[in-house]
Structure 1
Amino acid sequence: MSKIRVAVIGCGSISKHRHIPEYAANPHVELVAFCDLVKERADHYAELHGGKAFTDYEEMLRTVKPDAVSVNLPNVLHAPVSIDVANAGAHVLVEKPMATTYEEGLAMIEAAKKNGVFLMVGHNQRLMPPHVKAKEILETGKLGKVLTFRTSFGHPGPENWSIDGRGSWFFRKEEAIMGAMGDLGVHKSDLIRWLLEDEVTEVAAFVDTLHKDGTECDDNSTCLLRMKSGAIGTLVASWTYYKGQDNSTVLWCENGAMHIGTHPEDQVIVELRDGTVEKYRVGAMATNEKQTTSGVIDAFVQCIVTNTPPTISGEEGLRSLNVILAAFESQATKQNVLVK
């Protein structure tokens, strides 16, 4: 089989640390184009991996005609660029949040369907080994029904991650639209939906900018979630965990509790009501400081190779986004909000 010709639009940190090296390591992929408004960044990856460098993605789509494209751009550009890529006949892998509105998300899904291409969203939390193990344990039924939960994602902020530091688009409201909730919160809404195989039906939230000066983007949020099953829990996203970063989830169930990502070595701990304790060392979760393979790129490529629709589909990305949009609406209206 001929190799999948892949282009990357946006050559910032997520491309540098995850997309580009993971494509380069995949035997089914040929990297054919890199696009960034900062020409030197695109040039750098073209020299490193072959392919052509562009500053105009539309020109790139016309001249290179890639089979698949990663869209790694400021949030406000995810929908329009992904739609253009789909209309050019290429499969789309878009970073989260997939869009900034419900209508944009629907338009992306429609564009992919119309053009017969796949649309996948980069929700890598589902693929991290502790979460995969946790879901396996839940599926055995030994813990019974999940009753309550908390899920949290916090770090010191994108200035420590973004290639542009404190000058990053992450802090410019007109480009980011949403801050910590779009960066981290949407990961956790996706995770809890997937882990529990359940949908969020209602949200009450505090979303605010507590400490990052000079930005209107939210840097903290605490949300109450009600699930379709009746389970209730909290979702927290923060850019001000200056010490003690967190990417953990705890589930309290009928027959015990499960702690995921709360211990540095025992990534999954199950405590049953009969006193039994099970500890699993399955590999740590990726952090900004310690990168591990995300699994997203390999999953995307596998979908194309086998012509199998992605499980982390546009529809799934939109359901996870809707939870975050409901949180913003709750903050604005000071009321509980039903999720679309």
Structure 2
Amino acid sequence: MLIVPEREIADLMTREAAFDAVERVFAAMASGNAYNFPVVREAIGHEEALYGFKGGFDQAGLTLGLKAGGYWPNNLEKRNLINHQSTVFLFDPDTGKAKAMVGGNLLTALRTAAASSVSIKHLAREDAKVIGMVGAGHQATFQLRAALEQRNFEKVIGWNYHPEMLPNIEKVANEAGLPFEAVALPDLREADVIISITSAFSPSVMADHISEGTHIACMGTDTKGKQEVEAELLVKASVFTDEIAQSVSIGEAQHAVGQGLIKGTDVAEIGAVINGTIAGRTSPDQITLFDGTGVGLQDLAVAAAVVDLAVKKGVAIEVDF
């Protein structure tokens, strides 16, 4: 079995490679060549942590495995560790033997950012100039860096539950040579693209905060009860997701579907847009929403790419197992 430690990931996986891996796996899912297993995600009753498993099988890429991990909200304050902790395990689909164990913390950040970036590529207006960020934590910086590569943005605006964290995304904007402005939630109407990346259980972004023609990527809702945007927004928007089953059960669409505002059939796979089997944006005034629930196949795709690179560079650790 091969081990690729967390410390090696930064030198192996780029944003471009993560984007390509995620875009390919979304397309494979929509084509029926890859599927995710049911998600297990539970509060463990210790340290306020959420822990779970996401897995799947990509028949096209012959990638089988799972990611184990979750969210420990006290890590940063108590231990100076990031709150999201995870490890990816890959298995040989021919034999079932353990193939690799890969540090999943940076990979999770990169693949989550890649997913919203893929949605911007395929759903946002080409003339988008202002990007809005809702959330300013560790993951938000990855989201913004990836998003800025998809359009010729001219300005970044942001809001966060804890305003003292906004310098995190202001720094990324400034590194890209763009001005940054902290705004109130109603001022998100200025944005052409919005990324919401919080761990909220009640909505902050309301339907009337979103202007016509906006693309919004909702990236924080991956558990029953979580919610970042008002359910009525999904009525106004054309809704796309990584996986429909997760979207309506643990994603942002769970609330709109649960309230009878939309049906599961109103949610489309972004992979089908990538494959060209359904339309994405069809007009400049259309509001598009991507419900990024985070599927196990994303993790497996980027982990498999990392293992190949680690072997080529001689940094993978081989152990008998």
In which range does the TM-score fall when normalised by the shorter chain?
Answer: 0.3 to 0.5
Higher RCO (CA < 8 A, seq sep 6+): 2
TM-score of the superposition, structure 2-length normalised?
A: 0.32
Compare CA radii of gyration and give the structure with the larger one: 1
TM-score of the superposition, structure 1-length normalised?
A: 0.31
